[in-house]
Amino acid sequence: MSTLERLVVIVLFEGVDLLDVTGPPEVFSLLRRETDDASGYRVVLAAETMDPVTTSAGVRILPDTTFREAHTRSIDTLLVPGAVEVDDQRRVHALTDPAVVGWVRTLAGGARRVTSVCVGAHILAAAGLLDGKRATTHWSTAHQLAADHPPIEVDADPIFIRSGDVWTGAGISACLDLSLALVAEDFGELVALRVARQLVMYLKRPSGQSQFSVPLEPVSTTRRVEDLRHHILRSIGDQLTVADLAAYAHVSERQLTRIFKAELGMPPSAYIESVRVERARHQLESTDATLERIVSICGFGTTDTLLRAFRRRLGTTPAEYRRRFRSGAG
């Protein structure tokens, strides 16, 4: 390994999410196209043994080294992916293998920085590496993380969070955003932006940006909330209010707020706004509709309300979003 290369050790174990493992190396590998020297990253995959590891997608991966041998190296970045199981009611639960947790704790002690992608945050938490810190994870397991580890300030909204030398990333494709942020820290914003263009990504999404596409996914475990979600989707073009939803569900507004916070992790007003932003994103990506038309379709009421919602949730404007994400844009 070149003395200018930074060693990235990615933790492997049975059932690990495939994209968590393969996404970051794709970002790091593109760095060489954008730099003129030998600097960059060397990625190694470490597991308890050298036997093939079967990922959640059924794809088998060969480790490059063992945890024990990796512990003898000078690790720049320890990257911890995650794994989940889904029960009979389609509820998602993050998994933590005590043996893997122990090795992560050991390896982290010799690393310059520690990162997790998606539900890998649960492994960092079990290793005691997130106590007293603010952290994120995939939105579907955020409640589990908060319940299992009260010392952690869990924020399921951002796509990644940095807390000192510990970074946590949100779900699935946010591993690319986190990796770009690491590149920016190590090699500068301009290099990270050039890498993002190679990936055909939205340049580099800021850490505070909300996780995309959450509102339309089936996240509730109760029929009542599922019915409310579908009612919101059907009525999103109307001036839908919390009072309207409470009346539809035959509960008080206070009880409705408790239900939404417990099931979806946010109050009803925030959920309604998130669905409107999601619908607006789709309109911007796939149609030529004017902002005024999108405001009407999505129930924002005014263009200013749409602009504020985009700024708050996506950290950009509708015009900039359309320019970056429009289907077929060159």
Q: What is residue 281's predicted lDDT score, i.e. its pLDDT?
A: 86
- What beta strand segments (E) does 103-190 contain? 111-116, 134-135, 153-154, 160-163, 166-169
CATH topology of domain 223-325: Arc Repressor Mutant, subunit A (1.10.10)
> What integer best gives the mean pLDDT of the chain?
86
Q: What is residue 37's predicted lDDT score, i.e. its pLDDT?
A: 54
CATH top-level class of 5-198 = alpha beta
- pLDDT tens for each residue of 49-58: 999 999 999 9
Q: Where is average pLDDT lowest: 85-89, 201-205, 275-279, 302-306?
A: 201-205
113: number of CA atoms within 13 Å, CB side?
Answer: 19
Mark whether 298 is an active-site residue: no
Sign, CA dihedral 60-63-66-72, equals negative
Task: Give the burial class of 195: count Cβ atoms within 10 A of its Cβ; 0-12 exposed, 13-18 middle, 19 or more buried.
Answer: buried
- pLDDT tens for each residue of 25-51: 999 998 888 776 557 899 999 999 999
Checking if the pLDDT of 216 tops 70, the result is no
CA atoms of 119 and 134, how far apart (whole Å): 15
Q: Where is average pLDDT lowest: 126-135, 173-182, 199-208?
A: 199-208
Q: Which of 16, 19, 118, 298 is catalytic?
A: 118
Domain definitions of the chain by residue range: 5-198, 223-325
Of 127 and 172, which is predicted with more confidence? 127
Q: Provide the 8-state DSSP code for 136.
A: -
